[in-house]
Amino acid sequence: MGVENVDAVHKMIQRIMLFSGNARIMEICGTHTHQIARYGIRSLLPKGIRLVSGPGCPVCVTEAGYIDTAITILDDPDVKIMSFGDLIRVPGSRSSLQEQKAMGKDISVVYSPEDAFRAAAEHPDKQTVFLAVGFETTAPLFAALVKQADKMNINNLFFLTALKQMEPVLHHMLGTLELKVDGLICPGHVAAITGQNPFQIISDKYGVPAAICGFEALDIFAGIHELIQQISDKEAVRTANLYKRCVREDGNTMAKSLIDDVFAPADVVWRGIGMVPDSAYVINKRYKRFDALERFGIRIPDSGRPNTCLCGDILLGKTEPGGCPAFGRTCTPENPAGPCMVSSEGACSAWYKEMGEERCLQESN
């Protein structure tokens, strides 16, 4: 970094430190939450700047009914479930996939979706079901896999989808639920797919300053600085694209085309938030034979998991992890009560790692 850049960074951070007002800023994305904890950014900010977490952790907002459905599918002994690691620890209404695996059910943790093709080829006697969870960032990948399965005429590979869209849930939170925040730190990797426009629409409609930024410490500080400028200087509300090295105004047209070709919008329940219209990506009629719900003739139930966990309030920015009575006590990374502690991108997991066990217990007292 050159001398001029160092000077610019110093001035940016100095302006943040001199901010004397109050600002409630939501970092929408779970990756930002993780990075804020990793770099200790929250502890470096003035007391008036409060960072709250949003709904951008895909595992955290996957409803209990989805987990219950995967477990129901496993009642068929010819089924093999494939999932990314975090998801198998997420509690359903009666069990988790990790508990089912310990009971002998055929569940494999994978690191690449390509493993699903390998499993389907190596186990032709099995019905392989891939748990497709994520946002706009991973939706094109799963769309490409569905198209590839269709091209290869694979008949024993299916997808149980929990793919969600960011713009509809922000409309729901800021509009229907009337969530009050002073600024939004928007996820750079989602915007790399969708482009800047969906976040600009949110800014314009609800009068909330927004900044699209990357995931390094300086990226996040730049986002906070941009929001503070808009708030304190009474500048015209806008969505500032601070991640131009990856985000174009119209996004990734090829990725969006893949999504449009394979998926259709649908209503879906977000854990802790409720039903959000047109916020899901579901497999469309053309590729319906790869939809696990269609193959096994089932529906995702509307189920809950009553406990003391306040994941829903945390995902809505209503409270912080330290405000949950379970945090650091009955809910820890080793024994999570809710998905916000399960996922590495979850707010509770990030706070716990940032603060350490002893301080977590102090916060929860």
Higher local confidence (pLDDT), 86 or 306:
86
275-303: burial string, b at 16+ Cβ within 10 Å, e else = ebeebbbbbbeebeebbbbebbeeebbeb
Which tokens is 181 given?
A: 């925040």
Beta strands in 67-165, from DSSP E residues, in sequence order = 79-83, 107-109, 127-134, 157-164
Task: Name the percent of the chain lying above pLDDT 70.
Answer: 94
With residue 260 as reference, give the H or E element that holds it. Answer: helix 253-262
Higher local confidence (pLDDT), 1 or 203:
203
Q: What is the mean pLDDT of residues 172-193?
A: 96
Q: Residue 126 pLDDT more than 50?
A: yes
Using the structure block, give the residue that is written with the tokens 């590729």. 287
Q: Residue 113 pLDDT more than 80?
A: no
Distance CA 82, CA 93 (A): 20
Q: Which residue ranges form the domains of the chain, and what is each CATH number?
A: 3-56+167-241 (3.40.50.11750), 64-166+251-296 (3.40.50.11740)
Q: Residue 45 pLDDT more than 60?
A: yes
Write out pLDDT tens, residues 259-303: 999 999 999 999 889 999 999 999 999 999 999 999 999 999 876
Write out pLDDT tens, residues 240-259: 999 999 999 999 999 999 99
In the prediction, which pLDDT does 319 show? 87
Q: Residue 359 pLDDT more than 90?
A: no
